[in-house]
Structure 1
Amino acid sequence: MAVKIELLTKQKMSGITFDCGYVALNNYILKQAKQDMKRHVCATYILQDDSSLVGFYTLSSTIIHLDQLSSINDEMAKKLPKYPYLPATLLGRLAVQNEAKGKGYGELLLIDALTRAYDNSAVIGSIAVIVDAKDQIAERFYKRYGFLALRDNQLFITMDTIKGIFG
């Protein structure tokens, strides 16, 4: 069983099945992800176990409003430049095939995404990783890894926190 995470590039999605329990995420990886890659909307990374698709995540650039951070953690916001918007990385989607849930693949994908985002922040500025949690289960998952509430269902983790965990 050879598990690997790689950029979705030349892999053929026709004939591949994927069901994570969310129709929108299933349709995204099977029908939309390659088009978004071609348009430079996001980078999609897939987790494969031998030849089957186990899970995936997407990364792209986004912004975070300084006043959003100030209202959550004024001490952290004081250390940042006083620009109205600051660069961040969006972990737009993360999903694991139903049969593979509970086997640590979600954690493996998240760790890979956070490590990749942190490494890339040295090349393209980013102060945090932001994620939109689909539901309370996803929110609890992200909070276990140090994500903090930003607004509504949106959470974030700073690059300094990521460095402290993995650095």
Structure 2
Amino acid sequence: MSSPLYTEPIDDPLTGADTFDSGVPVLDDWLRSTAVTMERAGLGRTHVWRDRDGLVIAYFTLSPHQVAQDGVPSRDRYSKASRPVPGYLLGKLALDKSLHGRRLGTRLLTQALERVADAAQLAAGRLLVVDDIDDNAAGFYRAHGFRDIRRDDPTRPQRLYRRVSDILADVSPGPGDGATASG
């Protein structure tokens, strides 16, 4: 793919997602059946990459979020109190499997982090959290600076987090999607 990859907001109604295949059916189905509903309800903002034919080839969804402090190390908590930590949720991130193995997942995540950095400049938040879908996803997020939140319930997905202050230090936020992570 020679053209630059940039995110754009999801359209309503969603077009070009019929052939999207990340290799994880629950992520594919969510994009087609739930993303626009979440957008309309103001519960999440989904951003997509499209190919030259207008087909969706990747997406991520961000939402404002309150993070329970249970399991978050004390240095990353809001305070000693048990109130939730304000932050953001990276609810979904998926890349069409035709693009797997090209480090484009890192590029997509970087664009999601840039959006969080932009949002943090307008409305504060302390943590970005993500619930991994499997061990491969957990490894991907850990490789990009996310840390585990200790969970006492083994039936729930593993939750990982990054401090927004670290994201702001690593990402060059700005207008447009061309910025990249520093380093």
Q: Same fold (TM over 0.5)?
A: yes
Aligned to 1:92: 91
Matched, 1:66 2:65: no
Equivalent AA in structure 2 for residue 154 of structure 1: R
- TM-score, scaled relative to structure 1: 0.87
Answer 1 or 2: which has greater helix percent. Answer: 1
In structure 1, what is the Cα distance between the partners aligned to 2:150 and 2:25?
25
Aligned to 2:75: 75
Aligned CA distance change for structure 1 residues 15 and 156 (closer, same or farther; 3 Å):
closer
Aligned to 2:129: 130
Deviations 1:13-61 (A, max 9, x none): 2673111111111111122211211111100000112122111010011
In structure 2, what is the Cα distance between the partners aligned to 1:42 and 1:147?
21
- 1:34-45 correspondence to structure 2 within 5 Å: 34-45=36-47
Q: Is the 8 A contact 1:55 1:105 kept in 2?
A: no
The answer for unaligned runs of 5 or more in structure 1 is none
In structure 1, what is the Cα distance between the partners aligned to 2:23 and 2:107?
19
Aligned CA distance change for structure 1 residues 25 and 91 (closer, same or farther; 3 Å):
same
Match of 1:160 among 143, 154, 165: 165
Q: State the shift of 1:104 in Å.
A: 2.2
Match of 1:47 among 46, 49, 65: 49
In structure 1, what is the Cα distance between the partners aligned to 2:87 and 2:42?
17
Task: Give me the identity figure in percent.
Answer: 24
Q: Is the 8 A contact 1:8 1:44 kept in 2?
A: yes
The answer for unaligned runs of 5 or more in structure 2 is 152-157, 173-183
**Ranges of 4+ aligned residues in structure 1 off by more than 4 Å:** none
- TM-score, scaled relative to structure 2: 0.80
Answer 1 or 2: which has greater strand percent. Answer: 1
Aligned pairs, number: 162
Root-mean-square deviation over aligned CA pairs: 1.9
